[in-house]
Amino acid sequence: MSKKILISTSTFAEFNKTPLKLLEKEQLTYMLNPYKRKLRSEEVVDLAADAIGIIAGTEDLKDDVLSRLLALRVISRCGVGMDNVELGSAKKRSVKVYNTPDGPTMAVAELTVGVILNLLRKISRMDCLIREGNWKKMMGNLICGKKVGIVGFGRIGQKVCELLSAFGAEIAYSDIESKSCSLNCSRKEFREIIKWADMLTLHLSPSRGHKPVIGDKELKMMKKGSWLINVSRGGVVNEEALYRVLKNGHLSGAAIDVFEQEPYVGALRELPNVVLTPHVGSYAKEARIKMEIQAVENLLEGLREKSGKKR
């Protein structure tokens, strides 16, 4: 029987070899992604042809792929989002599926705070000016006293609330479920929070997938001069509509880490009042190590369950 594991993430175990040692301890052979990028479907099929497990990145693992991976028993997603995995197809084929929901929480929350500070204090913009030989001071804004609306109040949304509360912001959240919060934050309906917030930050759960949550109508409902942050899912913000409200000054600025199509090559790159990052929410060394170890532990747990073995 094959003991091969495909590790399809673009990078893996670069900062800590513990995940690979865990596989070796179980006498499993592994193949790292040779392309160092998101795999295409045919590449997944080729590389995982006889694999019993995949430690997955963001490549598509839909029915047309899974139907050809006859030896596959476990998919362990190194990350939170599961929208690239066709869960119904996996279940039909008795393939167990896991993810790592805890690993990236602090990393994404800290990135959110970082881009908020960047937007309000115009750090990137002044950095560019100085590099161009232009010593120009730009007036910024404080987080203190701002009304911050958090859309999606799961692990990451709650951690963002905790971090921003230290700055003296007034915080409210919108979620399909009422959540308990030890901090002074209130729950508002989606339409209400859009109109209320000086700053709207999106932390939607993976189950929302690529649905357009913030479109032209919602952007026009936002306060004039407010800010928008999306570090959750590409496609939940209509990027063309966002370009228009940033261009005409209705929004003061935006920070976007995730896009409908990646790598992103769209018009938002032309605007000085938007901070763009290349889907790096979980890209903090400590968080990455934690996620990779958890992904391997999940994979091993799944293989044990499939073989009927106990720990």
Tens digit of pLDDT for each residue in 120-141? 999 999 999 999 999 999 999 9
Burial code (b: 16+ CB inside 10 Å, e: under 16) for 107-141 equals bbbbbbbebbebbbbbbbbbeebeeeeeeeeeeeb
Sheet of strand 251-256: strand arrangement: 185-187, 170-174, 147-151, 199-202, 226-230, 251-256, 274-276
**86: closest CA among 63, 58, 67, 52?**
63
Mean pLDDT of 153-164: 95
Same domain, 58 and 129: no
Tens digit of pLDDT for each residue in 29-43? 999 999 999 999 999
Residue from 24, 42, 240, 262 carrying the catalytic annotation: 262
Same domain, 93 and 113: no
Mean pLDDT of 87-107: 95
Same domain, 74 and 111: no
pLDDT at residue 268 in the model: 98
Question: CA–CA separation, 101 vs 81, rounded Å?
Answer: 8
Helix 105-121 vs helix 155-165: crossing angle, to nearest 10? 50
Question: CA–CA separation, 52 vs 28, rounded Å?
Answer: 10
pLDDT confidence band for 81 (50 / 70 / 90):
confident
pLDDT confidence band for 87 (50 / 70 / 90):
very high
In terms of C-beta density within 10 A (0-12 exposed, 13-18 middle, 19 or more buried), how is residue 261 classed?
Answer: exposed
Question: CA–CA separation, 1 vs 306, rounded Å?
Answer: 14
Tens digit of pLDDT for each residue in 93-102? 999 999 999 8
Is 279 an annotated catalytic residue? Answer: yes
pLDDT at residue 309 in the model: 65
Same domain, 29 and 119: no
pLDDT greater than 70 at residue 211: no
pLDDT greater than 70 at residue 310: no
Same domain, 240 and 130: yes
Mean pLDDT of 99-119: 96
pLDDT greater than 70 at residue 48: yes
Residue from 73, 155, 203, 233 carrying the catalytic annotation: 233
Mean pLDDT of 55-81: 96
pLDDT greater than 90 at residue 153: yes
pLDDT greater than 50 at residue 236: yes
pLDDT at residue 85 in the model: 96
Is 189 an annotated catalytic residue? Answer: no
Q: Of all residues in the chain, what percent carry a pLDDT higher than 70?
A: 97
pLDDT at residue 208 in the model: 43
Tens digit of pLDDT for each residue in 288-309? 999 999 999 999 999 999 877 6
Mean pLDDT taken over the chain? 94
Same domain, 71 and 89: yes
pLDDT confidence band for 311 (50 / 70 / 90):
very low
pLDDT greater than 60 at residue 46: yes
Is 155 an annotated catalytic residue? Answer: no
Beta bridge partners of 55: 7, 76
pLDDT at residue 209 in the model: 46
Domain carrying residue 10: 4-103+285-307
Mean pLDDT of 154-169: 96
Same domain, 236 and 117: yes
Same domain, 266 and 118: yes
Q: Considering the entire predicted model, what is its pTM?
A: 0.85
pLDDT greater than 50 at residue 17: yes
Structural domains of the chain, count: 2
Which single residue is written with the structure tokens 């997944």?
44
164: left (phi over 0), alpha (psi -120 to 50) or beta: alpha
Same domain, 155 and 246: yes
Residue from 68, 187, 279, 304 carrying the catalytic annotation: 279
Same domain, 111 and 77: no
Mean pLDDT of 185-209: 88
pLDDT at residue 206 in the model: 55
pLDDT at residue 124 in the model: 97
pLDDT confidence band for 2 (50 / 70 / 90):
confident
Same domain, 123 and 256: yes
Same domain, 63 and 148: no
Question: CA–CA separation, 229 vs 158, rounded Å?
Answer: 15
Mean pLDDT of 3-23: 97
What CATH number did the domain enclosing 251 receive? Answer: 3.40.50.720
